Structure 1
Amino acid sequence: MAEVTNALPVGELVGNNYEILGIAGAGGMGVVYRAWDAKLERTVALKFLPTLLNADVREREYFVLEARMASSLDHPNIGVIHGIEETADGRAFIVMGFYDGLSLAQRIAKAPLSTVEAVDVAIQIALGLCEAHAHQIVHRDIKPSNVMLTNSGSVKIVDFGLARLISAETATASGIVGSIKYVSPEQALGHRTDQRTDIWSLGVVLAEMLTGRNPFERGAIPAILVAILNEPPQSLDGLPIALQGIIYRALSKDAEKRYQHCSEMLADLQAARTELSNDSTNRKEATGRKTTHRSNDIRKYVEQASISTWSRAQKPRNRWLPLGLGLCGFVLLACLFLFPRVREQLFGSRIRVGEEHIAVLPFTNIGNNPENEALSEGLVDTLSGRLSNLDVGNKALWVIPASEIRRLKVMDPAAALKTLGANLVISGSIRRDGAAINLNLNLINTENLRLIGSVDVVDQAGDLAALQDEAVSRLAHLMDLPVSAEMLHNTGGSVVPAAYENYLTALGYMQRYDKAGNLDRAINLLGESIKTDPKFALGYGQLGEAYRIKYQLDKNQHWLDEAQGNLERAIQLDGSLPAAYVTLGRIHDVSGKRELALQEFQHALTLDPRNALAVRGLARAYERAGRVADAEAAYQKAVALKPDDWESYNLIGHFYDRQGGIPRRSRRCRERLR
């Protein structure tokens, strides 16, 4: 609510046209003011976006585009958007219709709605969504606070286009947990969404209107997400059978089993309203074929709303598993990742269709040239990173960290499946012949050891950056993943081939900096790299990280100064490198400059909302600043961002140890599973 603390005063003129009359509301996605439009002589609502989101140029462009599309909608159940404007200092705000009345969230807080009233509200929401979906506009954030109940009795859906702005940094900073309770399973998994995600959210809202509680209400974000993905909604016993069927069908965890179009759900809602409006004689369902048929439908819909997303491809072997998962939350997630044998016993060895769990195995150094060993390790790390950063749409792609593969000494496809649960591996070899470099990669299915395809790339000039781009592009093609030039271009400024080779070799040495001499070798190579190419931003950034690690080992302040100087140079050359801001945040954190650290981590997240390292840094900085609740949320978010990375689980485990133990709910779960 920091935005409200700095609220605009009553009487202030905004945009040379709007006089502030007062605050109408505030939440995670901004402050809403009631204002007077002097030009058109009407009362309007002005919604200001959070300052953090105003700073993200790309997200603002997305928002403006979607808000413009939403402003074209003309329907009595959709809140009108009059325009998108800016203040003199560049703060974006939306000019919307102002509606006297309550939000649906305020109405539910008073008491559950009557059955007829709830159905009528749901019908009006469905009518508005039908109109939006007909124009290929998906709201993505249907929840009670985004539904207005006007004094005239009409229902208005507001905040079209804002859901895209919900990103990793705002989940903590803006209290977006209110939205989390309404996200669909596909949203929770980061998959591509369509109109069916709005249908899910409407099902949640309808259940909440009728019962007064969210069907997936839990005490913490991870527990909410686990419930959405793996647990049945809370019981709807006592509600009319027709409404139970509508809600359970809308809440199918598999979008293919849900209502496919909002018009289908609307038709069922309208039929239910007609049925509920009839006298009790016509509504009796105690006997008859209609009751039997409907009961069979209910059983089917309940089952579809209860099947675990993680184990949808097959039945869980333990019937108590969904309940155990809900109570354990992230603790059981950690166990499933760290102990693959447990995962196999619970779910079987098969991975859900559509998910690719990839391990990039150590490359063979053809010719056994010791000078190429570190280069080979650096290539494995950067190749893993490039694959994990691909935006693959609705296809789940989990790349197991190269550090974890090294730690567990996984060397072959069978071990990758058994130890890490990887269903795909990339094995390969690197060979040098003078300046030319040859990289051969094999994509292998670990379950049947079948070779899916091979990639053989050669660069006669030894340009490793170009070599990697080609390799990633062709691997993505083998896995049916869409790639673009923008996805592949992340080398950080201009790159001279020799500079990039030194950078990769240094990266390989830094992966084993605990071995005597390796860190100094990395520093020397990175020094040569930026000497060869003075505009190589990634080289300066990695050199800053190397000096930070050196300080970590011997606590010499000189190394921190060197680190900061190189990082500032990296940012000066290329201000879009999240890793540079993460390292700067770590330096400020160990120096006791907590606020500066928080700023750097938050800036890294504006550049890359899914940067788990930035979220981990944010968590540590919050903890050291005494903001325990914020720290816990950030640690949990780091786990959600990188569910295959053991380090996130390790960090949150140590956090709970420092705080005196894990939450009571998780302790009960652990005892129950023994």
Structure 2
Amino acid sequence: MGVLSGVVSAAFSMEDTLSVLSAGDRIRNYEIQCLAGRGGMGCVYKALDTKLDRLVALKFLPLHLTFSDKDRRRLLQEAKSASALDHHNIGVVHGIEETPDGQPFIVMAYYEGLTLANRIAGRPIPLPETCDIFHQIVLGVSEAHSHDLIHRDIKPSNIILTRQGTVKVVDFGLALVVSDTDATRSLGIPGTPLYMAPEQIQRAPADRRSDIWALGIVLAEMLLGRHPFLRESFPSAIYAILNDPPVELDGIPQELQAVVYRALAKNPSRRYQTCAELQADLERFRNQWRSTDADRKNTATPPPPKPVREFKRYVHDASEPVSLGPDNKSKILRRLTATLAVMFAVLAALWFSPAQFWIRNFIRPPQKHIAVLPLDNLGSTPINPDVAAGLMESLTNKLSNLSPGKESVWVVPATVVRERGIDKPTAALRDLGATYVVKGSIERDGQNVRLTLNLIDTKSLAQIGSIEVDDPAGDIRGLQEEAIRRLARMLNIGPDTRPRGDSSVPAAYEAYLRALSYLQRYDKRGNLDLAISELQSANTSRSTTGSGSMRPSQTARRHPHSTISCRWSTSRWVGYTMMLAIAIWRSRSFNMPWTWIRETLTP
């Protein structure tokens, strides 16, 4: 089995890596023998160094990376640091070279064997073998840390088990180089997300303790045969890393459980601070285990294992949802106040409610997790599809605003539901963890509009209840308010709520719903302009219709100092704010130039 064959990362497609080489091809003084492995960081070829007559592994980084002079210097520096490590548990780096067309590649020692990922292959590794492998891994990482070199991407596929029984940790520092190239800088953080410490996921700088977290994941995976935060979907796994306890280590000696839990403390200050501390506890367990094993053989009733004094605290630290420390809070505050644009983005996000989902998501798991599914558009004269899509968004927002003090309610934003194509209760449970879904239809026949909503339990697929509201005048807003009131009672999540600033003019409200629909599909060119146009249209319709078309209670709310009047008078500002926020986000995420933002913001 090749040096790096194993788990293939989905970070880059196979076409992105150098795959045209075959046996017999030559690059400089290296003769290719075979493809040894491929992953997210590139591909590796087994080759013969014809000058020194030795086998080497040539690692080619993904072809789509554009290496500037700064990137090349960084890659060379990381390679120098790694090559300076002289330890039997660290893979040897011979140097950095380039192909004739300028593509850099790393020359490493070639090791016959298999990766730890292949060794695990979904099955637990016996305890003695696990301890021996992990002992060697920690020794290698500890040596690197003593030279101020952080790995940042420790995972089973970066650990090689040679045929001689020696463990080699490879790819030191490579994750940082790849993430910091001009072509990938928008990806944000270095490493493989499922093996990142919580602080790395939150974009805080990685240090030795981040590697220690990854070591805890690797140890748990060897003991269990699976990732300790494995979930049905990638977002759920990331959520679990930040908020949930790792899977229970049933059948594992408590002393070794304590090592895992302490390494997996979500707060880095509660983890092992150095590999030496971790190694000391591991050696203590190995000695106790050998002693207990000897007693087990010599006596009919071996002595019970000694309980770990701080075991409960270690379990608590690994289970407590992550929170930002004072230092990180101050850094984030400085960043938020650094530019007015970021403040606009936050305001816009709060205005359109989906931000509430993420806030609640990272506090603690809810008891009631609700998703509103796309509405079926029925009837002899169906309403505009954009109005139906906007109504789904508005229903979601209003559910989010019900009983804001209750932490037991968590509503998935319509953006998430739409982007993942969720249209069935089973999919909502599987991909979003939703316990309830609201599924229904909007039906128009002539002027009459009927809104039907069904509340469904996603686990049993039982219909909890059904709501049907008609309005002969086609007042969608009125239908929605009545439906929300009934839905709130059905869910038992709060008292009846009053409207929160929506126009009572049907034409204005439909324009508002169309604007929401366009904003949720902002990635389609032109939709941002359409959203602004609809918001302006809604404001115009509301002002030109006059108070005569409004209910008395609504007319009273048009007082200049009322919330509704204030909100609707700023609809255009909100639209531009949302556009600015989206433009900034896209420029940061996809390296788009500021000229694109200027073009987008041009009325």
TM-score relative to the length of structure 2: 0.54
Residues 152 and 190 of structure 2 are in contact (CA less than 8 Å); yes or no, is this contact kept in structure 1? Answer: no
| 1:2 Cα deviation from its structure 2 partner | 1.8
In the aligned structure 2, how far is the partner of 1:355 from the partner of 1:287?
A: 52
Residue 52 of structure 1 aligns to a residue in which SS?
Answer: coil
Name the CA distance, whole Å, in 2 between partners of 1:254 and 1:286. Answer: 37
Among 149, 156, 159, the residue aligned to 1:147 = 159
Aligned to 2:56: 44
Using the TM superposition, name which of 2-11 and 217-226 deviates more.
Answer: 2-11
SS of aligned partner of 1:10: coil
Cα deviation, 1:12-44, whole Å, max 9, x if unaligned, reads 111x21000000100111000000001111000
Q: Which residue number in structure 2 is paired with residue 205 of structure 1?
A: 218
Offset at 1:163?
A: 1.4
CA drift at 1:57: 5.2
Match of 2:238 in 1: 225
Q: Structure 1, residues 323-353: CA drift from partner, whole Å, max 9, x if none?
A: xxxxxxxxxxxxxxxxxxxxxxxxxxxx985
Q: Which residue of 1 aligns with 2:418?
A: 654
Q: 1:291 is matched with which residue? A: 306
SS in 1 for 2:195: coil
Q: 2:120 aligns with which of 89, 98, 108?
A: 108
- CA shift in 2, pair 1:24/1:359, >3 Å: closer
- Aligned partners of 1:20 and 1:36 also within 8 Å: yes
Structure with the greater alpha carbon radius of gyration: 2
**Pairing partner for 1:401 from 345, 368, 377:** 345
How far 1:663 moved relative to its partner? 3.9
1:85-140 per-residue CA deviation (whole Å, 9 max, x = no partner) reads 10000111000000000000000016321101011111101111111001000001
Cα distance in structure 2, aligned partners of 1:230 and 1:110: 24
Q: Give matches, 1:49-198, under 5 Å.
A: 49-55=61-67, 58-109=70-121, 111-165=123-177, 167=179, 179-198=192-211
Q: Deviations over 1:473-511 (max 9, x none)?
A: xxxxxxxxxxxxxxxxxxxxxxxxxxxxxxxxxxxxxxx
Match of 2:228 among 196, 212, 215: 215
> Quick one: distance in 1 between partners of 2:233 and 2:184?
12
Q: In the alignment, which residue of structure 2 is the partner of 1:9? A: 22
In the superposition, relative to structure 1, how do residues 170 and 233 fare at CA in structure 2: closer, same or farther (>3 Å)? farther
Q: How far apart in 1 are the matches of 2:69 and 2:423? A: 38
Deviations 1:253-287, CA, capped at 9 Å, x for gaps: 01111000001111111222222223436479997
The alpha carbon displacement at 1:298 in A equals: 1.3
Q: CA deviation at 1:237?
A: 1.4
Please give the secondary structure, in 1, of the residue aligned with 2:420.
helix
Deviations 1:171-213 (A, max 9, x none): 9999x99922111011111001111111110111011011101
2:78 aligns to what SS in structure 1? helix
Establish whether residue 383 from structure 1 lines up as the match of residue 320 from structure 2.
no
Among candidates 241, 246, 265, match of residue 259 of structure 2: 246
Q: Does the CA-based 8 Å contact 1:63-1:164 persist in structure 2?
A: no
- Displacement of 1:405: 7.8
The 8 Å contact of residues 266 and 317 in structure 2, kept in 1 or not, is answered as yes
Instruction: Tell me the alpha carbon deviations over residues 494-533 of structure 1, each in whole angstroms, 9 at most, x when there is no partner.
Output: xxxxxxxxxxxxxxxxxxxxxxxxxxxxxxxxxxxxxxxx
Corresponding residue to 1:665 among 417, 430, 439: 430
Distance between the aligned counterparts of 2:17 and 2:93, measured in 1? 23
Q: In the aligned structure 1, how far is the partner of 2:323 from the partner of 2:344?
A: 18
Answer whether contact 1:249 1:305 (CA < 8 A) is retained. Answer: yes
Confirm whether residue 23 of structure 1 aligns to residue 38 of structure 2.
Answer: no
Counterparts in 2 of 1:402 and 1:152: CA distance versus 1, 3 Å: closer
- Taking a change above 3 Å as real, the CA distance of residues 219 and 40 of structure 1, as seen in their structure-2 partners, is same
What stretches of structure 1 of length at least 5 have no aligned partner? 314-350, 362-381, 389-398, 410-416, 422-647
Q: Is the 8 A contact 2:295 2:302 kept in 1?
A: no
Map of 1:452 onto structure 2: none
Query: Are the counterparts in 2 of residues 54 and 60 from structure 1 also a CA contact under 8 Å?
Result: no
**Separation (CA, whole Å) in 2 of partners of 1:262 and 1:91:** 36
Q: Assess if the C-alpha contact under 8 Å between 1:177 and 1:221 holds in 2.
A: no
2:46 matched to which residue of 1?
Answer: 34
Q: CA RMSD in A?
A: 3.9
Shift of 1:664: 2.8
SS at match of 1:64: helix
The Cα offsets for residues 403-453 of structure 1, whole Å up to 9 and x where unpaired, read as: 6189689xxxxxxx9xx99xxxxxxxxxxxxxxxxxxxxxxxxxxxxxxxx
Task: Show the counterpart of 1:269.
Answer: 282
Partners of 2:88 and 2:73 in 1: CA distance: 27
Are the equivalent residues in 1 in contact too, given 2:229–2:237 (CA < 8 A)? yes
Deviation at 1:66, TM superposition (A): 1.4
Mapped to 2, the partners of 1:98 and 1:225 lie a distance apart of: 34
Trace 1:602-621 onto structure 2 (pairs within 5 A).
Answer: none
Tell me which amino acid in the other structure corresponds to 2:51: K
Please show how residues 562-601 of structure 1 align to structure 2 within 5 Å.
none
Give the CA deviation at 1:402.
Answer: 6.4
Partner of 2:10: none
- Cα 1:150/1:383, change in 2 over 3 Å: same
Q: After superposition, what is the alpha-carbon deviation per residue over 1:52-106, rounded to whole angstroms, capped at 9, x for unaligned? A: 2244554444332212211111100000000001000011100000000000000
* Structure with the bigger percentage of helix: 1
- Equivalent-residue separation in structure 2 for 1:98 and 1:408 (angstroms): 54
Q: Aligned partners of 2:285, 2:183: CA distance in 1, in Å?
A: 39
C-alpha contact 2:429 2:435 (8 A) present in aligned 1? no
Percent identical pairs in the alignment equals 41
Cα separation, 1, equivalents of 2:89 and 2:50: 26
Which whole-Å CA distance do the structure 2 matches of 1:270 and 1:117 have between them?
14
* Distance of aligned partners of 1:87 and 1:237 in 2 relative to their CA distance in 1, 3 Å threshold: same
- The answer as to whether partners of 1:46 and 1:94 remain within 8 angstroms in 2 is yes
- Looking at structure 1, the residues matched to 59 and 130 of structure 2 have their Cα atoms a distance apart, in angstroms, of 27
Checking the alignment, whether the CA contact within 8 Å between 1:357 and 1:400 is kept in structure 2 is no
Which consecutive residues of structure 2, in runs of 5 or more, have no partner in the other structure?
1-13, 361-411, 437-456, 458-490, 494-603
Question: 1:310 touches 1:352 (CA, 8 Å); kept in 2?
Answer: no
Tell me the secondary structure at the aligned position of residue 148 of structure 1: strand
**Structure 1 CA distance, aligned partners of 2:259 and 2:67?**
42
Helix, strand or coil at the partner of 1:73: coil
Q: Distance in 1 between matches of 2:352 and 2:195?
A: 38
Q: 2:331 and 2:33 mapped to 1: Cα distance? A: 51
Residues 18 and 60, structure 2, Cα contact 8 Å, conserved in 1: no
Deviations 1:592-620 (A, max 9, x none): xxxxxxxxxxxxxxxxxxxxxxxxxxxxx
Is the CA contact (8 Å cut-off) linking 2:49 and 2:55 kept in structure 1? yes
Whole-angstrom distance in 1 between the partners of 2:266 and 2:43 = 33
Q: 1:230·1:309 contact (CA, 8 Å) conserved in 2?
A: yes
Quickly say closer, same or farther: Cα 1:312–1:669, change in 2 above 3 A.
Answer: farther
Contact 1:76 1:128 in 2 (8 A): yes
Partner SS state of residue 259, structure 1: coil
Normalized against structure 1, the TM-score is what?
0.49
Aligned length: 366
